[in-house]
Amino acid sequence: MFFWDSLHAALMMVIGFNAELLHIVGVSLNVSFWSTLAACILGVPAGFAIGIGRFRGRQTCITFFNTMLALPTVVIGLLVYSVLSRRGVFGALGWLYTQKAMIVGQIILITPIVIAFTIAAVSRIDERYRRTALTLGASGWQSAMVILHEARFSIMAAVVAAFGRVISEIGISMMLGGNAKGFTRTMTTAMALEYDKGEFVLALALGLVLLAISLGVNMLLGYVQGRTRR
């Protein structure tokens, strides 16, 4: 009964557009959006260059980014904390316990995901696409664009995976954001807090929103793929 009562109350909270809930969701989406955008700007070109490039040390690069996939969020949190704390190199910026610090930490977390998945996506594209483009008179840049076009759905999937990782992470948000109500409280940190307090309604409501966001993003990706593939 306890679960169903909590679920009912959580649903009412979601349907009623509870102000606190909306604010927390807004912070989460804001932080996740900017960190994902920055990771894409950095990661997609880097992954693409490594994926299509043939240079000495390429395999080392791939191994490095694959290893970075397993980087624990608390390690990133500690690292960024040491840099942004008052005694740190960038302490003067005053970013610690702000959304900016969370975004920096999350960029470090998901950029390797975007890079590694983009490398995998590009490497899977048949060499004949590049050859065909070249034989049809394309320049190196134009043939690279053909590969990018063919790999677009896998790269989009990489971005979705990165977004999913960042919106559901807790360690960085907690360590660098501080879970300050109204400022840096995200869905995951709020859920952890509510759990500690023994209050399940808001936690459950946030869980429902988190699932709905993940579902929505994946449905959007599926829709775009379906439309383009006809």
Between 56 and 230, name the residue whose CB sits nearer to other proteins.
230
| Minimum distance from residue 143 beta carbon to other proteins (Å) | 9
| Cα 39 off chain centre by | 8
| Minimum distance from residue 166 beta carbon to other proteins (Å) | 29
Sign of the dihedral through C-alpha 101, 62, 133, 221? negative
Distance (Å, rounded) from C-alpha 87 to C-alpha 107?
A: 22
Between 10 and 52, name the residue whose CB sits nearer to other proteins.
52
Distance (Å, rounded) from C-alpha 37 to C-alpha 167?
A: 13
| Minimum distance from residue 134 beta carbon to other proteins (Å) | 6
| Minimum distance from residue 163 beta carbon to other proteins (Å) | 24
SS (H, E, C) 13-78: HHHCCCHHHHHHHHHHHHHHHHHHHHHHHHHHHHHHHHHHCCCCCHHHHHHHHHHHCCCCHHHHHH
Between 135 and 218, name the residue whose CB sits nearer to other proteins.
135
| Minimum distance from residue 152 beta carbon to other proteins (Å) | 9
Catalog residues that contact other proteins under the rule CB under 8 A. Answer: 126, 128-129, 131-140, 142, 146, 149-150, 228-230
Between 33 and 153, name the residue whose CB sits nearer to other proteins.
153
Between 90 and 129, name the residue whose CB sits nearer to other proteins.
129
Q: Residue with structure tokens 């169903």?
A: 4
Between 76 and 151, name the residue whose CB sits nearer to other proteins.
151
Distance (Å, rounded) from C-alpha 162 to C-alpha 205?
A: 23
Dihedrals φ, ψ of 72, to 5°? -70, 145
| Minimum distance from residue 43 beta carbon to other proteins (Å) | 23
